[in-house]
Structure 1
Amino acid sequence: MPTRSPAKTTAAQTPALGRAETPIAFVQAIAAAYAARGMDPTTALRSAQIEPKLLRKPNARITATQMEVVSGASMQELDDEGLGWFGRRLPWGSYGMLVRASLTAPNLGVALKRWCRHHGLLTQDIDVQVHVQDGVAQLQLHEAHDLGIYREFCVVSVLRNALGVACWLTDSRIPLLCTTLQFAAPAHRASYRVLFDGPTAFDAPIHSLQFDAGYLSLPVRRDEAALQRMLQRALLLTVRPYRRDRLLVEKVRHTLAQHPEHSRNADDLATWLNLSTRTLHRQLKEEGASLQQLKDAVRRDLAIDLLHRSQRPLKQIAQAAGFQNEKSFIRAFKGWTGQTPDAFRRC
């Protein structure tokens, strides 16, 4: 998906800084794309510090950094972000365009559907779709024809790219319930424990990633400025897992806003969410939030909305936002916005 030149290989990108867990089969597929166009992959391999002789060793592995560098260099040299997978090249910037088209979506569900629809405009060799059933979302990939020697590399890369984009758009790690793949288990099947969360099933009826459908309601948190920063090293979305999960944060935020009767204290809220109080606090901390922060955010948003949409007295707004008195509400509101509620309302 990158639209800019990948960073030059530096000491910070040397193979020694990562575990070699990516199968050499993916690099062999890249080399095949070069061969199909009568080109030499040596420069790209050298940029990633991959010895050409490794291509003749089926059990060889490379690091995530090496995979990022060799993919980026090859995409530029071949002018093809599809790396030979499809009947037509995907010029430099194609996958970045897909992300930009999804950036204004209100939530992940809409964003992923846009991503899939626009991917179909780039190539008809594969079709990517989102399906939801019984609380499980499936990102499905269908092949229009046999992808040949590129099949595994293409399917794995496109699915991981879509998942990486989904995680980036929502600033959330999306753990997988299951990955299903139509092809037989390769000799390097052990690498799939790193490529995808959860169990991987081979010889399956369909290529798919399956995850909790609750993630589809997460809001898109990125903007154009964030996109430009991300595109500096966009391949990281594909080669490295996202580390933060925000699903519980959004569930707590929704409960605080829509079901205040279940959120008088942490114990009541945890019971409503079918969690222990200890687990609630721990998981929120892992997601980079706290219950008090979320309570403050919900109170702030409600107070701002009421100040904008109504002429209700401050005392009533304070009560609606969960404050015991007007004085504490004014003090909190000034801390949130730097203004008193009256001054904010006059703006």
Structure 2
Amino acid sequence: MGTHTITVHRVRAALRGAQRLGIDTAPLLQRAQIAPLLLGDDRARVTDAQFTCLVKELHRATNDEFLGLGPAPSPRGTFAMMCCTALGGRDLGAALDRAVRFYGLFPSGPALAVRASGAVARFTVRGELTDDPDHFLSECLVVIWHRLSSWLVGSRIPLLYAEFAYPAPPHRAEYDLLFGCPVRFGAEHTGASFDAHWLDAPLIQDESALGELLRRAPADLLSRRDYGTTVTEQIRRTMARALITRTRLPEAPEIAARLAVSPATLRRRLTAEGTSFQRLKDSVRRDAAIAGLSEGHEPIAQLAARLGFSEDTAFHRAFRRWTGTTPGAYRHAALGAHPSE
């Protein structure tokens, strides 16, 4: 529930392979309703739905499951066959081993590995993908394999931490939200770690369920997920529901009461998850504002009131702080991607 937004850095990174292949990306952006003008603003963001649509368009345009970012194309259908192979495993560990060996059959495929050491298991993407200077593909591989693993066992697998074999980028804060765990940069390999007991978890999915998953892949696997298992996710979900039902956004003491904890405990738990109540409130309102402006139907004054701003000027100041532009300018740029509206 709720609309997330994606930093423009990830939009530019996703386009890189198609641009390298000489594909005109303007029509792809237009079909995803993303204004090309936004790509020049480092603080710009797009909705989760827009980004999902763009990934689907890139998938079709490049005819490559790696979106033109890998050392060699991955023909469409490769991921599906890998999933079928993985389903034959007796548990998650065997499934992941099958999947790693499947991609190992391709000389130019990504070098993947799953290894357990004591109580910790780790999935890694080894080596540098030279046609992926933004590390978009390697990060996507970690995200997809985590979410595919969670799907196979029917339960979200909490990540202990995620590591990246490069320095922290300017949009480093996005990684905490994307992976839902502590993140480290400058590591030897890119990957993510989880409790090794999950490798013994039995698979609960079958080929009929796989068909539904594949109809939504790969874009759906890349979209950010709220599982409701962390305090941050529960608060985001509560706030998003309030915006949808057009009720007042709850304050921290009300949220604490709903979670049956004290306000001080709530603050400590949010700090442990790398955020705060105000940061969550700002991000929920920012994402809802961007979604509302992109859709283009709700008057800006009405949108400001729905988001809990008592004055239009306060909304304008907040939106400029979030994105570097005004609500009106953002709407104009967004609607420029689909002028018929």
TM-score by length of 2: 0.63
State which of 158, 162, 166 in structure 1 corresponds to 2:145. 162
Confirm whether residue 59 of structure 1 aligns to residue 43 of structure 2: yes
8 Å CA contact 2:122, 2:193 repeated in 1: yes
Give the aligned partner of residue 294 of structure 1.
Answer: none
Give the aligned partner of residue 105 of structure 2.
Answer: 121
Give the aligned partner of residue 243 of structure 1.
Answer: 227
- State the 1:64 CA deviation: 2.3
Instruction: Note the aligned Cα RMSD (angstroms).
Output: 2.0
The CA distance in 1 between the partners of 2:215 and 2:131, in whole Å, is 31
State which of 97, 105, 123 in structure 2 corresponds to 1:139. 123
The one-letter amino acid paired with 1:198 is: C
8 Å CA contact 2:72, 2:108 repeated in 1: no
The one-letter amino acid paired with 1:224 is: E
Give the aligned partner of residue 181 of structure 1.
Answer: 164
8 Å CA contact 1:34, 1:41 repeated in 2: yes
Give the aligned partner of residue 218 of structure 1.
Answer: 201
Give CA-to-partner distance per residue, 1:85-119, whole Å, 9 cap, x none: 21221122221221111012110000111111112
Confirm whether residue 41 of structure 1 aligns to residue 33 of structure 2: no
8 Å CA contact 1:137, 1:213 repeated in 2: yes
8 Å CA contact 1:30, 1:84 repeated in 2: no
8 Å CA contact 1:141, 1:206 repeated in 2: yes
The one-letter amino acid paired with 2:34 is: I
Greater Cα offset, 84-93 or 170-179: 84-93
Q: 1:81 to 1:204 in 2, by over 3 A?
A: same
Greater Cα offset, 37-46 or 99-108: 37-46
Confirm whether residue 24 of structure 1 aligns to residue 13 of structure 2: no
SS across alignment from 1:66: helix
The CA distance in 1 between the partners of 2:201 and 2:132, in whole Å, is 37
The CA distance in 1 between the partners of 2:106 and 2:56, in whole Å, is 19
Q: 1:148 to 1:225 in 2, by over 3 A?
A: closer
8 Å CA contact 2:70, 2:132 repeated in 1: no
Q: 1:29 to 1:136 in 2, by over 3 A?
A: same
- State the 1:46 CA deviation: 1.8
8 Å CA contact 1:116, 1:128 repeated in 2: yes
8 Å CA contact 1:164, 1:242 repeated in 2: no
Give the aligned partner of residue 323 of structure 1.
Answer: none
8 Å CA contact 1:177, 1:197 repeated in 2: no
The one-letter amino acid paired with 1:113 is: D
**Within 5 Å, which residues of 2 pair with 1:157-306?**
157-234=140-217, 235-241=219-225, 243=227
The one-letter amino acid paired with 2:14 is: I
Give the aligned partner of residue 34 of structure 2.
Answer: 50
- State the 1:207 CA deviation: 1.2
**Within 5 Å, which residues of 2 pair with 1:326-341?**
none
Give CA-to-partner distance per residue, 1:250-279, whole Å, 9 cap, x none: xxxxxxxxxxxxxxxxxxxxxxxxxxxxxx
Greater Cα offset, 105-114 or 120-129: 120-129
The one-letter amino acid paired with 1:180 is: E
Who wins on radius of gyration, i.e. which is larger?
1
8 Å CA contact 2:144, 2:221 repeated in 1: yes
The one-letter amino acid paired with 2:100 is: C
The CA distance in 1 between the partners of 2:98 and 2:63, in whole Å, is 24
8 Å CA contact 1:167, 1:242 repeated in 2: no
Give the aligned partner of residue 114 of structure 2.
Answer: 130
| Count of residues paired in the alignment | 228
Give CA-to-partner distance per residue, 1:285-307, whole Å, 9 cap, x none: xxxxxxxxxxxxxxxxxxxxxxx
SS across alignment from 1:128: strand
SS across alignment from 1:89: coil
- RCO comparison, higher one (Cα < 8 Å, 6+): 2
Q: Which runs of 5+ in 2 are unaligned?
A: 230-341
8 Å CA contact 1:108, 1:219 repeated in 2: yes
The CA distance in 1 between the partners of 2:110 and 2:212, in whole Å, is 29
Q: Which runs of 5+ in 1 are unaligned?
A: 1-11, 246-347
The CA distance in 2 between the partners of 1:230 and 1:148, in whole Å, is 28
